[in-house]
């Protein structure tokens, strides 16, 4: 799969919706939401008009990551109007629709209804819609993929074996739904000790690139395990919006995506 997804779309006669790119992972906690946010910001900095739908119903983190906590989207003719984050990225999350912690108790149909509302929100003016999927390969993911047919998917994994096995399952899920996997990203590879500067590899290194190669998928890049990324993310200041090496790492991945 080559990544010209966003680069050269022929102008459509009818106004068409944004190109949907799903970001998935086999496991939770590997940095899928962090990557989604920072790719969105990096794409916006490269001139794309970007939106994010946070479909991670049971652990929505985009309100924090994109600094829109406590905001509620307005609606026009029953259609939701996405929120404007301070980083030039529009966003909608289940976390914007309910009080913190409430969605956890939702049954499938309610969650499904909220996801449809977010996907069918007024995304006019947005070229690329990144979809932050829940981790794993369950019903929500399958429904989202089948119903909204992303143009492509990015799979995030950390380099340890257990995460990789699950990442492979995520890749299979997309393949079954005939959604091309644009490529894989290795997160939390290589930790620079803030005291001595020595690089260590708590989860190993390079395994995601080898996995991508074995599966015949493009490797999109590597983000180190970096305290600054965690701190900035928790503070709602995406590192991709800054000017450090972290921003460069995310920008490089955005470029490979076709920014
Ligand atoms: P997921 O969406 O896969 O569950 P998150 O994006 O929520 O994972 O990340 C889980 C935690 O790890 C968060 O606290 C986040 O700030 C942190 N994190 C993600 N990527 C990195 C990284 N490269 N370096 C340091 N911390 C990271």
Tens-binned pLDDT, residue by residue, of the chain (259 aa): 444 455 555 455 555 789 999 999 999 999 999 999 999 999 999 999 999 999 988 789 999 999 999 999 999 999 999 999 999 999 999 999 987 666 566 666 777 888 999 999 999 999 999 999 999 888 888 988 999 999 999 999 999 888 889 999 999 999 999 999 999 999 998 887 778 877 788 877 789 999 999 999 999 999 999 999 999 999 999 999 999 999 999 999 999 998 7
Q: Concatenated DSSP letters for 163-222? A: HHHHHHHHHHHHHHTTPPEEEEEEEEEEEE-TTT--EE-TT-SSHHHHHHHHHT--EEEE
91-114 burial code (b ≥16 CB/10 A, e <16): bbbbbbbbeeeebeebeeeebbeb
Atom of ligand 1 nearest to the CA of 223: 23
- The pTM for the full model equals 0.92
Residue to probe by mutation, ligand 1, list 28, 34, 132, 232, most atoms within 8 Å of CB? 34
Q: What is the whole-number distance in angstroms between the Cα of residue 187 and the centre of ligand 1?
A: 9
Closest CA to ligand 1's atom 16: 230
ipTM score for this prediction: 0.99
By the 10 Å C-beta count (0-12 exposed, 13-18 middle, 19+ buried), 157 is classed as buried
CB-based contact 222:209 (threshold 8 Å):
yes
Closest CA to ligand 1's atom 9: 31
Query: Which residues carry a binding-site annotation for ATP?
Result: 26-33
Q: What is the whole-number distance in angstroms between the Cα of residue 233 and the centre of ligand 1?
A: 8
Rounded Cα distance between 140 and 153, Å, is 16
Atom of ligand 1 nearest to the CA of 34: 6
Q: How many residues does the chain have?
A: 259
Rounded Cα distance between 36 and 225, Å, is 16
So what's the pLDDT on residue 18?
Answer: 95
So what's the pLDDT on residue 234?
Answer: 97
CB-based contact 253:42 (threshold 8 Å):
yes
The end-to-end CA distance of the chain, in Å, is 16
Rounded Cα distance between 55 and 93, Å, is 7
By the 10 Å C-beta count (0-12 exposed, 13-18 middle, 19+ buried), 117 is classed as middle
CATH architecture of 19-257: 3-Layer(aba) Sandwich (3.40)
Domain range summary for the chain, segments of one domain joined by +: 19-257
Closest CA to ligand 1's atom 14: 230
3-class state of residue 23 by DSSP: strand
Rg (CA), the chain: 17
Q: What is the whole-number distance in angstroms between the Cα of residue 135 and the centre of ligand 1?
A: 13
Nearest alpha-carbon partner for 122 in 72, 79, 68: 79
Q: What is the whole-number distance in angstroms between the Cα of residue 76 and the centre of ligand 1?
A: 34
Residues β-bridged to residue 133: none
Closest CA to ligand 1's atom 17: 230
Q: What is the whole-number distance in angstroms between the Cα of residue 177 and the centre of ligand 1?
A: 27
Residues β-bridged to residue 219: 184
For ligand 1, residues with CB inside 6 Å are 25, 28-34, 61, 135, 187-188, 223, 225-226, 229-230, 233
So what's the pLDDT on residue 190?
Answer: 86
């Amino acid at each position: 799969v080559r990544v010209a997804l966003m680069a050269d779309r022929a102008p459509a006669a009818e106004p068409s919706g944004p190109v949907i790119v799903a970001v998935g992972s086999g496991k939770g906690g590997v940095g899928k939401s962090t990557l989604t946010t920072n790719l969105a910001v990096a794409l916006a900095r490269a001139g794309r008009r970007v939106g994010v739908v946070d479909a991670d119903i049971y652990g929505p983190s985009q309100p924090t990551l994109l600094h829109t906590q406590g905001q509620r989207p307005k609606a026009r003719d029953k259609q939701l109007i996405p929120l404007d984050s301070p980083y030039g990225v529009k966003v909608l999350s289940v976390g914007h629709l309910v009080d913190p912690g409430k969605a956890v108790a939702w049954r499938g149909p309610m969650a499904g209804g909220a996801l449809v509302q977010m996907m069918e929100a007024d995304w006019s003016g947005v070229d690329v819609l990144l979809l932050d999927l829940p981790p794993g390969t369950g019903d929500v993911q399958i429904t989202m993929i089948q119903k909204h047919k992303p143009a492509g998917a990015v799979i995030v994994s950390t380099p340890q074996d257990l995460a990789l096995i699950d990442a492979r399952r995520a890749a299979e899920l997309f393949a079954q739904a005939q959604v091309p996997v644009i490529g894989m990203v290795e997160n939390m590879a290589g930790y620079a000790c803030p005291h001595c500067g020595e690089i260590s590899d708590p989860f190993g290194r390079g395994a995601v690139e080898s996995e991508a190669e074995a599966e015949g998928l493009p490797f999109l890049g590597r983000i180190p395990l970096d305290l600054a990324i965690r701190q900035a993310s928790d503070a709602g200041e995406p590192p991709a919006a800054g000017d450090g090496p972290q921003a460069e790492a995310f920008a490089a991945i955005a470029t490979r995506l076709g920014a």
